[in-house]
Amino acid sequence: MSADMTPADKAKYVSARRAADLVENGMRVGLGTGSTAAFLVRRLGEMVRDEGLKIRGVPTSTRTADLARAEGIEVITLEQAGWLDLTIDGADEFDNDLNLIKGGGGALLQEKIVAMASDRMIVIADAGKHVETLGAFPLPVEIIPFGWQATRKLIEELLISMDVQGHDTALRMASESPFVTDEGNYILDLDLKRIGDAQQLAQALNQIPGVVENGLFIDICDTVVIGYDDGRLELRDLTKGTIVREQLDLPDRDNLFTDIAK
């Protein structure tokens, strides 16, 4: 394990490596987006090359697709897959009921579509992503560019009647221009601080004209693999109601994951 890796990177590595063990030969696997998911894709690539693992991956973004192909993973579309056995993705936050906030990487729409088209969704995360109540991480909302200012105003008006602590909204930027998703849309980040009723908020946001999707993943995730920087990990299975604690030996050698973009 490279000394250059941060404690958070080591925790992500641990969770991703353990989750990769849950992938079985012949599976159709949804591949998430973000730094933690990139650790997973690299590990699955190793398993394809070194262990003969045969899987087909459905990426949730163009950058994940590019990485998967570079790692030797067969990439197919969701249309070609039809349905997925498993999706593994990161999260910006998760609570005790495994409800999530996702979209920090800007791919929430494809991530939610792929997750919902899977028999099972596993989240991989470091322990810092666990919260008692969602909302500390700004909630991403994907909106169409046409009339986005009006959509933003409608969202801000909605938030007044919602059980949230903050009401600030911001258009996500990429340098001097608005950030644009793979689908050509914008993202508003809602600084809510605390979300009292995540399901109610998710439903209300999606009723606003111009809103494509929001980053609240409610009742979608089945299992979370939580990694720690010392190699400890927890597998929490909501369906079984179990928490399994394990220890993963961190390799001494320089690993191949240090060049993953944050």
Each of the 262 residues of the chain gets a pLDDT tens digit; together they read 455 789 999 999 999 999 999 999 999 999 999 999 999 999 999 999 999 999 999 999 999 999 999 999 999 999 999 999 999 999 999 999 999 999 999 999 999 999 999 999 999 999 999 999 999 999 999 999 999 999 999 999 999 999 999 999 999 999 999 999 999 999 999 999 999 999 999 999 999 999 999 999 999 999 999 999 999 999 999 999 999 999 998 876 454 444 443 3
What are the residue ranges spanned by the domains of the chain?
7-130+219-247, 139-214
Residue 225 pLDDT: 98
To the question of whether residue 36 is assigned a binding role by annotation, the answer is yes
Separation between Cα atoms, residue 246 and residue 236, nearest integer Å: 11
To the question of whether residue 34 is assigned a binding role by annotation, the answer is yes
Which residue type occupies 46? E
- Beta carbons within 8 Å of 153's beta carbon, 6+ residues apart: none
For β-strands 223-227 and 121-126, DSSP reports them as parallel
Would the CATH topology of 7-130+219-247 be identical to that of 139-214?
A: no
Does the 139-214 domain belong in CATH 3.30.70.260? yes
Task: Give the pTM.
Answer: 0.93
Residue 3 pLDDT: 54
To the question of whether residue 50 is assigned a binding role by annotation, the answer is no
Residue 252 pLDDT: 62
| Arch. (CATH architecture) of 7-130+219-247 | 3-Layer(aba) Sandwich (3.40)
To the question of whether residue 258 is assigned a binding role by annotation, the answer is no
Residue 4 pLDDT: 74
- The pair of structure tokens assigned to 163 is 């059980």
Task: Give the CA distances from residue 253 to residues 3, 34, 71, 256, in Å, rounded to whole numbers and listed in that order.
Answer: 10, 24, 20, 9
Separation between Cα atoms, residue 179 and residue 158, nearest integer Å: 23
Q: Which of 43, 66, 46, 69 is nearest to 56 (CA)?
A: 69
Catalytic status, residue 246: no
To the question of whether residue 91 is assigned a binding role by annotation, the answer is yes
Of 111, 132, 142, 176, the active-site residue reads: 111
Residue 146 pLDDT: 98
Q: Is residue 41 within 8 Å of residue 64, measured between CB atoms?
A: yes
